[in-house]
Amino acid sequence: MPARVVTITNRKGGVGKSTLAVLLVQYLASQGHRVLAVDLDVQGDFSRPLIASGKCVVSETTSERVLTDPEATVEDAPFVLMREDELALSELERHPELYNDFAKNMRRFMRRHAEAFDFIVIDTNPVQDIRVLAAMVSSDYVLSPITLTKEALEGIRALFNDPRTGVFVVQENYNRKLQFLGMLPVMVDERNAVDRECLAALLGAPDYRKHLLSFVDEPTSGRDFLKIKHRTIWRAFHESGAVLWEQKSGPAREVWAEVEPVMQRIAQLMGAK
């Protein structure tokens, strides 16, 4: 089966996007899948934990070259990271005359590596620019972590229908095969009144509810929907690159017990065996 490509995106920064991306690639790799991680965010929050973990091969090819180099390639290894080059990525948006070439180059890159990997996971920047558009045009799936704030809820319509990078706009105009896996509430603290209100608003709005990730294909209750809870250890794990399920501490085991079913479901929806 050719590589399945998933873009992780959200229009807002600070929503745990890179933490989710790290968890997903680490989980897929731990299950024996060949994984390519592509960091298109200049902040490098996807790259740093993976490098610190020592679990992957860091490619000599940096991520901007999937857009700029028609012949870009990566090392032959089971788990590879294409890290960010801050300056090179920042330059891309300044060349609108090359946007079509950028998108074509990325699509061709994915096709060239379709047999080398089982999954290609792309972490994107919150600014909805050519990197996000090219990634979605080249992907099979989109996954969107969201936080439970009123501002985040107000931004969901743009996530779906932004005229440039809205998921459904890209589906309609550029990539008919693109599937929206759904929205995943992250850093959820149900002791917090705002979190409870926002979660209830999502579940109570049919247009939003149907696009929430769920454990089952036809959810019937709030318990059927996926979420990742707020935990104080997240920052430490992300910064250290520690693999959550390899840790022996009680808090780590408790968090992994919550997160593992979420990773399993995402992998299942992408056709992992």
**Model confidence at 40: pLDDT above 90:** yes
Q: Assign 153 a pLDDT band (cuts: 50, 70, 90).
A: confident
What amino acid is encoded at 125 in this protein?
Answer: N
Please, which residues bridge with residue 183 across strands? 144, 212
Mean pLDDT computed over 39-62: 95
Q: Assign 33 a pLDDT band (cuts: 50, 70, 90).
A: very high
Mean pLDDT computed over 109-132: 94
Domain 4-188+227-269 has CATH 3.40.50.1820: no
C-alpha span between 130 and 213 (Å, rounded): 26
Least confident of 34-48, 204-218, 228-242: 228-242
**Count of H-run helices and E-run strands, the chain:** 13, 7
Pairing between strand 179-185 and 79-82?
unpaired
pLDDT digits over 98-120, tens only? 999 999 999 999 999 999 999 99
Of 125 and 116, more confident: 116
pLDDT digits over 192-203, tens only? 898 889 888 888
Please state the domain extents for the chain: 4-188+227-269
Whole-number pLDDT of residue 141: 98
Of 105 and 17, more confident: 105
Q: Crossing angle of helices 250-269/17-30, nearest 10°? A: 80
Of 236 and 56, more confident: 56
Whole-number pLDDT of residue 12: 63
CA 190 remoteness from chain centre: 24
C-alpha span between 27 and 256 (Å, rounded): 11
Cα 72 to Cα 98, 107, 110, 111: the distances in Å are 17, 12, 10, 12
Whole-number pLDDT of residue 15: 58
Cα 193 to Cα 81, 114, 190, 221: the distances in Å are 39, 45, 7, 20
Cα 14 to Cα 9, 91, 141, 170: the distances in Å are 12, 23, 22, 24
Strongest mean pLDDT among 73-77, 186-190, 216-220: 73-77
Q: Assign 14 a pLDDT band (cuts: 50, 70, 90).
A: low
pLDDT digits over 161-175, tens only? 888 889 999 999 999
C-alpha span between 233 and 240 (Å, rounded): 11
Whole-number pLDDT of residue 42: 93
**Model confidence at 94: pLDDT above 70:** yes
